[in-house]
Structure 1
């Protein structure tokens, strides 16, 4: 068996190999990778003083997630890096006209790009080891690789839900000085596919600069490093928050004020106001769960909901105060003063289109006034001569004679002191209800206008630098 195996290895295998000669691309690959003193670890320059210029183009094609609470943006992008390798050039005529060849990342020199604000463990190796490299005959190298990146994106939620976020991607070469590798980022094209259900892409900006680091390496005072920054500008779609948060909370706040229109003797008045307060509390919890907790500036919408919550809460004790006034047994001390009495019982009711105290007294007297007296009908008693029994003969009644209406002086005298106090208290309570309703509505509109003015300050601020 050993002799047979030896014969196969010596005669059959070389014969088979001879039947399939190496292709032109294989010859070219063998020529490029087996050059004398070639190493993929050396910079791709023939002169050590030359600088390798590396260009990076970041093309975003999907936004997977934006975690606002943890301030993490996850995107899928395609990275394209270009540079020139002076050691990887050839004459196409010597290799059957082949002027383009595919290489692998680990076969030739590739720049090590570092994403400084990445939260992934592969921040230093964002280039896939199985990425595709296109090499042309003049030494031009193009590397393309797909990358899923999780980066830190500082979320500023001051103008939530009408906010615009600016998420940076900071790229720089790993431990390579600017005179060795000059790194710059190319402005990407249109990225219309970078959309989500909640965010719209406004723009992608690029900034390149050279940074100086003092005493970064011992014995060297100043070292320059080339950096590149890609900034993604996102704008939130506020439709969901307007319909699911702002509109219901505003309606609940207004409903809390409408409770002042209910009469004091309504049993559902306080329960309705408390229900509105509980509903606003639920919306406050939704805001807390949505927004990042580490934000330095609180959102304007949070202040708006807090203000409406306070107004709705204040409506409950004011309603209780009015109910206690309406059902008080003793006369209100403020009515002892003629000026206050005139304002609360006569002037304000007329302004609010309500019955005054005099109108209420008059209406009460009309209800309890005794019925007018009528003249008695004359009865003529005739004796029936035939039967001998008495019989009543009713004639047509005369028209009634009504009593004259009582004068106002005599009307008030017919009400007791407790009844007068109750009418006064009810009139004051209804007046205070209308007054509180107007004051709360004015306060609500003042808060709304102030919030709108704060939101208008953010208009046109879509191109902020990262």
Structure 2
């Protein structure tokens, strides 16, 4: 009953044109105190069935920080609405615009749903009011909001963060509208953008969803801004991708080291250890949250797997080239398969041995000296095992090069495909 009496009193006393006693600011303030100030409990409309139209303007000033899925933004929102009990004659009152304390007027409870922390900017204490009853509330924000990350194409990813405006308590009696086209909002944001760091503002979209009934048939008018951001990948390409490509190239060309003369396994072990330390040091540059595993993680895992496979191949070749002392002469089928066919396939055919001695004299001495004959057979078997290791090493080198090329091309094509697909969807 008291609330209805207050509404009736407010309607009878307040919804008229304000008359100033003198054409000065003091006269206008005095008239506003008598007619408007303190009446903040109800919406400023003559008929409570009439909705209050709130015009929303959004300007993005910068992206200050990104920690996992929490983004720190700096932006400014301007809310504009009509106060139907607050118009005056600018000639009689001496001004057509005035600033008054915010706490003296009714203000809409417009919130942004994605905010997960309070505003870090000091409160603004004044509103601007025009003689027509138009009220402008300019609100700066420095807040943290949530944004779902799609990091599949990191560091060439594009993110789409939303800002959803709606009233916290008012239902259909508060209607929201855009002040300007979203193209103009984008241009204004680009012109005042302060930060030029990791993220680049590439586009903005806006949408006003149709009002849908919620619980108990309560409806809320909503405005949504979509802020499309593209990551600047230069730092990640220079610090992550290029060093990885260099290290995998070193591992590839390490096949040119002769395993019988150089400890190739120690070199490859050192390379793997260095790459592991590199990944640990660069781990802070990688995103830790998201909806999917980034392709760059697949790239790093592939590089490490190829290095480990290369080390295992070196161990195998070293074991083969010492095969005579363990396994005896090379089996005939291995000679045919590896030393004849595969050797020709990898362009590593065995050169015929030079025979500078007289055949008859050599045969005579071989038959007459069993120790010399045994020595020749040992040298021949050792040479065959060495040649087998060289053939397998050359074959694995060719397969390694082919697999590395195909894998890298596939990953980069897939990267490009998903980047273009994401950009087209946004």
Q: Is the contact between residue 38 and residue 105 of structure 2 (CA under 8 Å) also seen in structure 1?
A: no
Say which of 421, 428, 440 aligns to 2:400.
Answer: 440
**Aligned residue number for residue 83 of structure 1:** 81
Per-residue deviation, 1:198: 1.5
1:35-59 Cα distance to aligned partner (Å, 9 max, x none): 1796022211111111100011110
1:233-286 Cα distance to aligned partner (Å, 9 max, x none): 111111121121111112212222322221122344112211221233234435
**Aligned residue number for residue 32 of structure 1:** 32
**Structure 2 residue matching 1:416: 3-state secondary structure:** helix
**Aligned residue number for residue 378 of structure 1:** none
More helix as a share of residues: 2
Q: Between 182-191 and 439-448, report the one with greater CA deviation.
A: 182-191
Q: Name the CA distance, whole Å, in 2 between partners of 1:131 and 1:334.
A: 95
**Aligned residue number for residue 96 of structure 2:** 99
Quickly say closer, same or farther: Cα 1:330–1:148, change in 2 above 3 A.
same
Q: Name the CA distance, whole Å, in 2 between partners of 1:208 and 1:93.
A: 39
1:66 aligns with 2:66: yes
**Structure 1 residue matching 2:35: 3-state secondary structure:** coil
**Aligned residue number for residue 384 of structure 1:** none
**Number of matched pairs:** 392
Quickly say closer, same or farther: Cα 1:412–1:301, change in 2 above 3 A.
farther
1:120 aligns with 2:117: yes
Say which of 166, 181, 202 aligns to 2:160.
Answer: 166
Pick the structure with greater CA Rg. Answer: 1
Per-residue deviation, 1:330: 4.0
Q: Is the contact between residue 195 and residue 201 of structure 1 (CA under 8 Å) also seen in structure 2?
A: no
1:47 aligns with 2:57: no
Q: Name the CA distance, whole Å, in 2 between partners of 1:93 and 1:308.
A: 78
Q: Name the CA distance, whole Å, in 2 between partners of 1:148 and 1:59.
A: 12
Indicate the RMSD between aligned Cα atoms, in angstroms.
Answer: 2.9
Q: Name the CA distance, whole Å, in 1 between partners of 2:107 and 2:362.
A: 106
Quickly say closer, same or farther: Cα 1:408–1:114, change in 2 above 3 A.
farther
**Structure 2 residue matching 1:209: 3-state secondary structure:** coil
Q: Is the contact between residue 41 and residue 106 of structure 2 (CA under 8 Å) also seen in structure 1?
A: yes
Per-residue deviation, 1:131: 4.3
Quickly say closer, same or farther: Cα 1:354–1:141, change in 2 above 3 A.
same
1:310-369 Cα distance to aligned partner (Å, 9 max, x none): 11101111101101111233486894235x41342244444444451x43x33xx66xx7
Say which of 210, 218, 226 aligns to 1:223.
Answer: 218
The residue correspondences of 1:285-364 to structure 2 (distance < 5 A) are: 285=280, 288-330=283-325, 335-338=330-333, 340-354=334-348, 356=350, 358-359=351-352, 361-362=353-354
Q: Is the contact between residue 166 and residue 221 of structure 2 (CA under 8 Å) also seen in structure 1?
A: yes
**Aligned residue number for residue 12 of structure 2:** none
Quickly say closer, same or farther: Cα 1:155–1:37, change in 2 above 3 A.
closer
**Aligned residue number for residue 265 of structure 2:** 270
Q: Name the CA distance, whole Å, in 2 between partners of 1:130 and 1:195.
A: 24
Q: Name the CA distance, whole Å, in 2 between partners of 1:279 and 1:406.
A: 58
Quickly say closer, same or farther: Cα 1:411–1:114, change in 2 above 3 A.
farther
Runs of 5+ unmatched residues, structure 2? 1-20, 368-372
Q: Name the CA distance, whole Å, in 1 between partners of 2:287 and 2:234.
A: 20
Q: Name the CA distance, whole Å, in 1 between partners of 2:144 and 2:410.
A: 38
